[in-house]
């Protein structure tokens, strides 16, 4: 017995900003590497650029980009803009922890200054937007953008603190 329920209407709409981000990375990569778009599509296992392009069109709801294809694209392009976009969609901050380098005093001071400036910009945006006692859609987006930049700066600062190799006080005094 089969159900008469049409489940296809339950499918989430494609995220336009994410598709734009992926497409932009691919086109930048192809231009930088002097690679044909069809060659790029073949590299990730697709028949042609047209196949990939259809997956990147918001209006083509019968073809989605797969997780495997997205990962392959990110590995090739070395860009994590699509992943960053997804993090921001869900209110997360993305920073890299891919370094083994010890944090220097100068680096931490610079990151700390940047984090404070970003925090001040976020504070100023909130104060400006709340001056009339209500928030517009544009004000909300501007506050969100500034707060996200402040969070990213603080996360970079925290990652740098994690990479500090403390000195041994006894060895240092000798």
> For 13-27, what is the mean pLDDT?
93
109 and 48 within one domain:
no
pLDDT over 60 at 1, yes or no: no
Q: What is the pLDDT of residues 29-75, one digit of tens each?
A: 999 999 999 999 999 999 999 999 999 999 888 889 999 999 999 99
Which of 62, 89, 116 is a domain's end point?
A: 89
Residue 40 lies in a domain: yes
Locus of tokens 């049409």: 6
How many structural domains does the chain have? 2
Which of 63, 89, 115 is a domain's end point?
A: 89
pLDDT over 90 at 7, yes or no: no
Q: Show the tokens assigned to 53.
A: 């392009």
What is the distance between the alpha carbons of residues 54 and 123, in angstroms, rounded to a whole number? 42
Residue 60 lies in a domain: yes
Instruction: Report which of 114, 120, 102 is spatially closest to residue 161, judged by C-alpha positions.
Output: 102
Residue 95 lies in a domain: no
Q: Show the tokens assigned to 114.
A: 């940047």
65 and 109 within one domain:
no
**Residue 118: CB partners within 8 Å, gap ≥ 6?**
146, 149, 150, 152, 153, 154
Locus of tokens 């997360």: 92
| Positive or negative torsion for Cα 112, 87, 15, 48 | positive
73 and 109 within one domain:
no
Domain housing 146: 105-166
Residue 77 lies in a domain: yes
30 and 67 within one domain:
yes
For helices 81-89 and 16-33, the axis angle rounded to 10 degrees is: 170
85 and 128 within one domain:
no
Predicted pLDDT of residue 5: 66
Q: What is the pLDDT of residues 90-129, one digit of tens each?
A: 888 777 666 667 889 999 999 999 999 999 999 999 999 9
What is the distance between the alpha carbons of residues 13 and 54, in angstroms, rounded to a whole number? 14
Residue 121 lies in a domain: yes
DSSP 90: T
Question: Does residue 92 sit in helix, strand or coil?
Answer: coil
113 and 54 within one domain:
no
Residue 70 lies in a domain: yes
Instruction: Report which of 31, 165, 48, 1 is spatially closest to residue 99, judged by C-alpha positions.
Output: 165
End-to-end CA distance of the chain: 84
């Amino acid at each position: 017995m089969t159900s008469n329920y049409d489940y296809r209407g339950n499918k989430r709409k494609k995220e336009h900003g994410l598709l734009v981000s992926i497409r932009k990375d691919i086109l930048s990569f192809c231009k930088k590497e002097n690679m044909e778009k069809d060659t790029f599509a073949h590299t990730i296992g697709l028949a042609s650029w047209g196949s990939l392009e259809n997956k990147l069109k918001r209006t083509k709801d019968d073809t989605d980009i797969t997780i495997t294809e997205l990962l392959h694209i990110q590995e090739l392009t070395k860009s994590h803009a699509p992943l960053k976009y997804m993090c921001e969609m869900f209110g997360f901050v993305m920073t890299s922890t891919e370094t083994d380098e010890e944090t220097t005093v100068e680096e931490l001071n610079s990151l700390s200054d940047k984090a404070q400036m970003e925090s001040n910009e976020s504070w100023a945006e909130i104060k400006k937007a709340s001056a009339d006692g209500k928030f517009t859609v544009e004000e909300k987006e501007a506050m969100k953008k500034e707060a996200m930049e402040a969070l990213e700066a603080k996360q970079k600062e925290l990652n740098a603190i994690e990479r500090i190799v403390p000195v041994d006080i006894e060895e240092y005094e000798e």
